[in-house]
Structure 1
């Protein structure tokens, strides 16, 4: 009985270890179209993989904070999140700040992130960056043993 219990514990340990190593690394993502990120992060959420933020994650990239539970996100000391108001194209082809899309985006962020954004004046056309200690107080640190299965650029 002791032998079977020991084997079971070892198997569970290695299964959990392999799951912990299944992660996507975000290193230099400047963002893009919100719709594309919604699709990308829906697939990521369904995959069960975790995310390592290990560099710049700006604009639409920050939607990962809304797409995954915080226990599936970790940050390194290099993590840097960039937030700004959502924008859209006008009839003349020029970009403009879209208040409705900005409110929608803001409302999806986790409460600590929304508080941080609000303390800095809210989302505007100018990018504000969350990094260092304030970010590390919101998300767990990544462990050096994590072996990402895929790098996102």
Structure 2
């Protein structure tokens, strides 16, 4: 039986690919919401897992509402930071201008556990509100098991 070059290449790629891909978040301070939505939708659609192992602020936190929570875990170094959405500063002459529509959209993605934490802590404001590791964070996201 002959194996073609293409078949051999495909076999090699599948053998070298891990069964479950993993996104490791360590120092993500956020960015453009649309970019994060696209990134996390791709991760969700591929069934990948996410380990939050450090800072996950701003648009990074959309992971909690797009990737299923049973595919996300946090390490002892994890923290989540939330604030109101801003318009792109290139359209506001470099000035931070909050967006009520953008903030509402962010909130619409979050699971109820995140929304409840945000409400209990005064809602989204211009100031970053952080959940650091521990019981409060584990009420939202499970700690990582050893096998991840």
Q: Same fold (TM over 0.5)?
A: yes
Q: CA deviation at 1:23?
A: 1.8
Q: Which runs of 5+ in 1 are unaligned?
A: 1-17, 147-153
How do 1:130-149 residues align onto structure 2 when only pairs under 5 Å count?
130-131=131-132, 132-146=134-148
**What corresponds to 2:4 in structure 1?**
none
Q: TM-score, normalised by structure 2?
A: 0.80
Q: Distance in 2 between matches of 1:98 and 1:139?
A: 27
Distance 2:78 2:124 in 1: 20
Separation in 2, partners of 1:140, 1:82? 17
Match of 1:119 in 2: 120
5+ residue gaps, structure 2, are 1-17
2:82 counterpart residue number = 83
Contact 2:23–2:48 (8 Å) recurs in 1: yes
Larger proportion of strand: 1
* Deviation of 1:78 (Å): 1.0
- Call closer, same or farther: CA 1:92–1:110 in 2, change over 3 Å: same
Compared CA separation, residues 91 and 128, structure 1 to 2 (3 A): closer
| Runs of 4 or more above 4 Å deviation | none
Describe the SS at the equivalent of 2:25: strand
More relative contact order, 1 or 2 (CA 8 Å, 6+ apart): 1
SS at match of 2:81: strand
Tell me, in whole angstroms, the C-alpha distance in 1 between the residues paired with 2:116 and 2:94. Answer: 33
> Distance in 1 between the 2:137 and 2:98 partners?
26
Q: CA deviation at 1:140?
A: 1.4
Q: Is 1:57–2:94 an aligned residue pair? A: no
| Number of equivalenced pairs | 128
* 1:22 to partner: Cα distance: 3.1
Provide the TM-score with structure 1 as the length reference: 0.78
Q: Partners in 2 of 1:138 and 1:34 — Cα distance? A: 21
Contact 2:113 2:139 (8 Å CA) reproduced: no
Structure 2 CA distance for aligned equivalents of residues 74 and 63 of structure 1: 14
Cα RMSD of the aligned pairs, angstroms, is 1.5
